[in-house]
Structure 1
Amino acid sequence: MRSRPRIIAGAIAAALLLAACGGESASVDGQRFTRGIGANPKSIDPHRVEGTWANDVIGDMFIGLFTENAKSEPVPGVAESWEVSEDQKTWTFKLKQTKWSDGVALTANDFVYSFQRLFDPAAKQAGAAYDSVQYGIFNGREIAEGAVPPDQVGVRAIDDYTLEIKLEYPMPYLPGLLKHYTAFPIPKHAVDKFGADWTKPENLVVNGPYKLVEWRTGDFLRSTKNPLFEGVDDICFDEVVYLPVSDHATMVRRAQAGEIDMNNSFPSGQLEKTEKDLPGWPRIAPMMATTYVVTNTQQAPFNDARVRKAIALSIDREHITGNILKSGQLPAYSFVPPSIANYTPAEFEWKSMARPERLALAKSLLEQAGYGPSKPLKFEYLYRSTGDNPRIATVIQENFGAIAPWVQAEIRRVETQALYDQLKAKNFIIADTGWVADFNDAYNFLYLLDSRTGSMNYGQYVNPAIDALVDQSNLELDVAARAAILKQAEAMILADTAVLPVLIRVTQDIVSPKITGYEDNPEDIHRTRYMCRKAE
């Protein structure tokens, strides 16, 4: 049983090497789709992962109550139909009769187990990363905090194919949230049998279109079709190879050599060159995503709001987006992107100030905080190793220094997944980070600054007034009134410089013109099952 994967691995490695040396492309075979994901997933357990690079892999393997269409809009997944109570706090789902990849029936009890496991405090000790996004489910937060046992979660099986979900408050965006990977079903029978090893390829059980069969950490992951997936006969590619390569210039060269079909970015500032080198490949579209700087608000020097504001004032967003990146990114003076539905973001009140005025104010604020030639402001700025981040970091370092010679920032590059682990552990002073919307609602950004959010509140920001406004917005059913409450919260967040937005992102994928089924969308989610290769 173990020898065959080694043989297949060797064949793939040989094919990739042959392609790299100018031989036959690994993607010439129309039955294989090869895509770059930009970083190494730390797991393929939906409760242990974070980041778009992991979502690219596990989203091909699992289907929640809802899933996404090619435009990443919510569509029914395992749910066949549903009803919503008059108070909008109880959703009752009728499930399709589907099977796990090992032939075991997938039932409502699998979803009950999954949500209990997601919120279980013991799961956090095992590496759970992202339960807070589902705290709208009744008792979710209370379970995570250890106040009530996991079996008190507001999710119950009425029968094998009827599931009820109770909410803390109305959530009109619930379909979008239930397609998130934290809401994927987990195969209890596989976890019970294999424990933490259930995600090893030889033990893995999935309910989606593809199943991981091989994983060489740092090299590639490979999945093949799940023959028990509903609609498997309509899927074009028999297998998918995921390449966790962070150097996008390398991936452009591999695309030129015919080795890949898609990568999740191209080098920043090189749109024209990429269009010339790969005609028809670059795909640019607005995203619901913000790149920002986060400070540890519980540690000096950034426990002082004057210092946070001074640093925010110094960042030259127009230069970064217009002269460095040059790919359609927007300067960010709000935390919530302008493309979010039913919402007009708040903005920094100093947005209209000219740059010299901003720098003068920044210097004054730091002097008020006690810094100057005899007491320089020194700190280490951490930045992610992938995408635009290395190019932005050097510019931001210069921006900090433009305040005064006694503002002295060192910068350090950190592997992307490792930096996110540091952010969750609060093991940093100041760092770059980003947020891509999980669903199309302003709450998905602003809840990050709720003091009860947990590890995803990277900067440990605490403001009871923000918490109260978030709670108030959850009880408001009028769309306009709810947006006004959330905007008030965002204005307070920006006034306190709880986050330092830098830019609003755009998609920067490269996709072979031979590939069909790729649809631009603001979440930048592109499931392999929708893509095909044009016939030659």
Structure 2
Amino acid sequence: TLRRGNGPEPDTLDPQRARTDSSFNVLRDLFEGLTAIGPAGDVVPGAAESWTVSPDGLTYTFKLREGLRWSNGDAVTAEDYVAGMRRLVDPKTASPYAQVIEPIRNAPAVVRGEAAPDTLGVSAPDDRTVVIELSNPAPYLLGLLAQPGTFPVHAASLALHGAQYAQPGKLVSNGAFVLEEWVVGSHIVAARNANYWNDAATRLARVRYVHHAEAGSEFRQYRAGELDVTYVVPPQQYAWIQANLPGELHVSPQLSVYYYGYNLARAPFKDNPDLRRALSLVIDRDRLTKQVTGVGETPAYGWVPRGTANYTPQRFDYADRPYEERVAEARELYRRAGYSAERPLQVEIRYNSGEVHNRLAVAIAAMWKEALGVETRLYAEEFRALLQSIQAGKDTQVFRSSWVADYDDAYSFAQLLQGGFGINLTGYSNPRYDALLAEATRQPDPTRRRSLLEEAERLMLADHPVLPLYFYVNKHLVKPYVLGWSDNVMNVQYSRDLSLAPAP
């Protein structure tokens, strides 16, 4: 059994409804998309052994491997992949990821409830062929098809179990592992799936995904020999780990951003870009990454991280200005927004429980207080409760979140702030920004597409709907006896590729 630290408790193991990194990590082991992520972070064949793309880039034809089976022995057919994508965009599913596949023909109309799910541009001319028709070129489609929202559905078990479909004993899956146990607040166990097409290459009998709200307790379990791999590395122990466990520490770039979002639906941040800019100006991100997190992250003065394919990340216009100058401008903007020492802004930061999140919130509250006199309340809650608070919107003012790219393309970050997008948590809506994204998606010329996305990022940064704080690095501790681990920008390591060296 491989024991993997997996961060906060997953929100669900329903592929079309899941929205958190910890859910995706388990789902990638339980299911297999048409494509998969290779050891280097590139796209490789998954359940599809091959595919062709039409010259205009609008039609993708996938050929499934022969003899694919579900974990219960039923045949996996092309229709199961069609059903998964239809379910993703069906308004009844209420998937937060529905709009991710908007380049597929008719997807936006289906999501809005204006067209039936069976009008989506996905079809199965025979049991082994999936055809996807796009309304505009989407060079990132192949990467998207490795993501859980597009995974297949076992229609019979979904019909039988309904809302209970994603529970142990009920979830029928097509990946290298099958769900065996879920102990809420503790762990999930997946067992090897003998019906997986490449089961002969799987080396592990079981995987145990262990939940941790904070990195310190995970590290203690790792040190005690109760975990083989960690989800993260605690910053307080980072220097000790570098000195004492250098061979077990894995640090590599990741396409993801840690940010605070403003609730733009209510005061004080609605229609108040001056105030939003003022609060951003006085956050010393270099200090945060050096003194608070301290495990190799890079300060985020923009939204899209360095290393994103075919893209030049944009930056706030003040990114290179001296801190004192930034504070002076922030004080003027703060005053203009109607606040002062006598009438300070009172604001609440909500974040999920955890040592790092708490230390960051304390540091940012101190920066706001020192530079502007802002009075900040800190409110920590369990991860699922935070997601519910953000969605409800009525209580939040500033909230902690993060985004991990679904595929290696700037559009994965840009789309998150599109007006009306299901996981646009701030409520940001700028018609010009949306128009630039729409034009970029229609653009066959990669150079022109890139410049449109870069222009959109500059426009959004000037609006300050979010406070990007830092770009993550992948940080894991991996025991020396875990074989097959590969660091990559997508931070994807399938358990089917891992094994445990025999005890000496």
Which moved further from structure 2: 200-209 or 274-283? 274-283
User: Which residue number in structure 1 is paired with residue 58 of structure 2?
Assistant: 89
Pairing 1:181–2:148 present: yes
User: Which residue number in structure 1 is paired with residue 218 of structure 2?
Assistant: 251
Match of 1:108 among 62, 69, 78: 78
Q: Is the 8 A contact 1:256 1:277 kept in 2?
A: no
Q: Is the 8 A contact 1:39 1:386 kept in 2?
A: no
Q: How does 1:180-219 map to 2 (within 5 A)?
A: 180-219=147-186
Pairing 1:338–2:311 present: no
Q: How does 1:433-444 map to 2 (within 5 A)?
A: 433-444=401-412
Match of 2:360 among 389, 392, 399: 392
Pairing 1:364–2:332 present: yes
Q: Is the 8 A contact 1:292 1:503 kept in 2?
A: yes
Q: Is the 8 A contact 1:285 1:507 kept in 2?
A: yes
User: Which residue number in structure 1 is paired with residue 34 of structure 2?
Assistant: 65
Distance 1:301 1:61 in 2: 44
Distance 1:413 1:84 in 2: 48
Distance 1:284 1:462 in 2: 36
Distance 1:181 1:215 in 2: 19
Pairing 1:313–2:281 present: yes
Match of 2:98 among 103, 107, 131: 131
The percentage of aligned residue pairs carrying the same residue is 34
Distance 2:176 2:302 in 1: 38
- TM-superposed CA distance for 1:207, in Å, is 0.3
- TM-superposed CA distance for 1:279, in Å, is 4.5
Distance 1:387 1:182 in 2: 31
- TM-superposed CA distance for 1:408, in Å, is 0.8
User: Which residue number in structure 2 is paired with residue 462 of structure 1?
Assistant: 429
Distance 1:421 1:60 in 2: 26
Match of 1:329 among 272, 297, 318: 297
Distance 1:255 1:280 in 2: 14
Residues 239/217 of structure 1: CA separation in 2 closer, same or farther (3 Å cut): same
Q: Calculate the TM-score normalised by the size of structure 1.
A: 0.91
Q: Is the 8 A contact 1:294 1:458 kept in 2?
A: yes
Distance 2:385 2:247 in 1: 34
Pairing 1:349–2:309 present: no
Distance 2:319 2:251 in 1: 26
Q: Name the amino acid aligned to 2:408.
A: N
Q: Deviations over 1:157-192 (max 9, x none)?
A: 111111111112101111101001111111111111
Residues 86/503 of structure 1: CA separation in 2 closer, same or farther (3 Å cut): same
Match of 2:109 among 142, 152, 163: 142
Q: Name the amino acid aligned to 2:103.
A: G
- TM-superposed CA distance for 1:66, in Å, is 0.4
Distance 1:158 1:424 in 2: 39
Match of 2:448 among 444, 460, 481: 481
Distance 1:367 1:262 in 2: 49
Match of 2:8 among 22, 31, 39: 39
Which moved further from structure 2: 176-185 or 94-103? 94-103
Q: Name the amino acid aligned to 1:111.
A: Y
SS at the partner of 2:161?
Answer: helix
Pairing 1:117–2:87 present: yes
Distance 1:364 1:146 in 2: 46
Pairing 1:260–2:227 present: yes
Q: Calculate the TM-score normalised by the size of structure 2.
A: 0.96
Q: Name the amino acid aligned to 1:431.
A: F
Match of 1:294 among 261, 282, 301: 261
Q: Number of residues paired by the alignment?
A: 500
- Unmatched 5+ stretches in structure 2: none
Distance 1:77 1:185 in 2: 12
SS at the partner of 1:64?
Answer: coil
- TM-superposed CA distance for 1:202, in Å, is 1.2
Distance 2:489 2:52 in 1: 28
Distance 1:375 1:257 in 2: 51
Distance 2:368 2:351 in 1: 15
Distance 1:508 1:372 in 2: 41
Q: Deviations over 1:402-447 (max 9, x none)?
A: 2222x11111112223222322333411112111111000011011
Distance 1:250 1:432 in 2: 21
Match of 1:378 among 333, 336, 346: 346
Q: Deviations over 1:312-331 (max 9, x none)?
A: 11111010111222211111
Distance 2:13 2:429 in 1: 32
Q: Deviations over 1:82-112 (max 9, x none)?
A: 1211211111111113010111111111111
User: Which residue number in structure 2 is paired with residue 242 of structure 1?
Assistant: 209
- TM-superposed CA distance for 1:358, in Å, is 1.2
- TM-superposed CA distance for 1:276, in Å, is 4.1
User: Which residue number in structure 1 is paired with residue 491 of structure 2?
Assistant: 524
Q: Deviations over 1:445-494 (max 9, x none)?
A: 0111110313x111111110001100111122222221111110000001
Distance 1:93 1:370 in 2: 58
Distance 1:227 1:345 in 2: 45
SS at the partner of 2:372?
Answer: coil
Pairing 1:51–2:10 present: no
- Unmatched 5+ stretches in structure 1: 1-31
Q: Name the amino acid aligned to 1:330.
A: T
Q: Deviations over 1:476-514 (max 9, x none)?
A: 222222111111000000111122111111111111111
Q: Is the 8 A contact 1:72 1:526 kept in 2?
A: no
Q: Is the 8 A contact 1:314 1:362 kept in 2?
A: yes
Q: Name the amino acid aligned to 1:352.
A: D
Pairing 1:505–2:475 present: no
SS at the partner of 1:441?
Answer: coil
Q: Name the amino acid aligned to 1:510.
A: L
Distance 1:111 1:387 in 2: 40
Residues 171/387 of structure 1: CA separation in 2 closer, same or farther (3 Å cut): farther
Residues 534/173 of structure 1: CA separation in 2 closer, same or farther (3 Å cut): same
Distance 1:422 1:526 in 2: 31
Q: Name the amino acid aligned to 1:118.
A: L
Distance 1:387 1:445 in 2: 26
Distance 1:374 1:400 in 2: 15
User: Which residue number in structure 2 is paired with residue 4 of structure 1?
Assistant: none
Distance 2:311 2:154 in 1: 38
SS at the partner of 1:263?
Answer: coil
Q: Is the 8 A contact 2:420 2:427 kept in 1?
A: no
- TM-superposed CA distance for 1:80, in Å, is 1.8
Distance 1:424 1:287 in 2: 26
Q: Deviations over 1:264-292 (max 9, x none)?
A: 11212431212345452221111111111
Which moved further from structure 2: 515-524 or 380-389? 380-389
SS at the partner of 2:258?
Answer: strand
Pairing 1:77–2:27 present: no
